[in-house]
Amino acid sequence: GMRRILIVDDDPDQLEIRQLVIRHSGHRTAIASAADEALRIFDAGRFDTVVLDLRLPAPETGLALIRALRERSATVRIFVL
């Protein structure tokens, strides 16, 4: 079925490509280019999936974001690229 997917990447080209592909698959998307922005959007919406680049810009930033998302939701699917 249709998912609500938050896409997080600090590379604008990758963000655009991923959003196009995921929307084309019939899912609703939101985008964020930084971890703090991603958490604000995640808190404001009902997302069941997050697709993120681990290097935001460093892997530690991506790992911290994963921990923060997991604290907010035990069931959110997190895909790391």
Report the chain's terminal Cα–Cα distance, integer Å. 22
Q: Which residues of the chain have pLDDT under 70?
A: none
pLDDT at residue 79, as a whole number: 97
Question: What pLDDT, on a 0 to 100 scale, did the predictor assign at position 68?
Answer: 98
Matching residue, tokens 């690229």: 81
pLDDT at residue number 1: 84
Give the burial class of 66: count Cβ atoms within 10 A of its Cβ; 0-12 exposed, 13-18 middle, 19 or more buried: middle
Q: Cα separation of 41 and 4, whole Å?
A: 12
pLDDT confidence of residue 7: 98
Q: Using CA of residue 16, residue 18, residue 24, residue 29, what is the dihedral sign?
A: negative
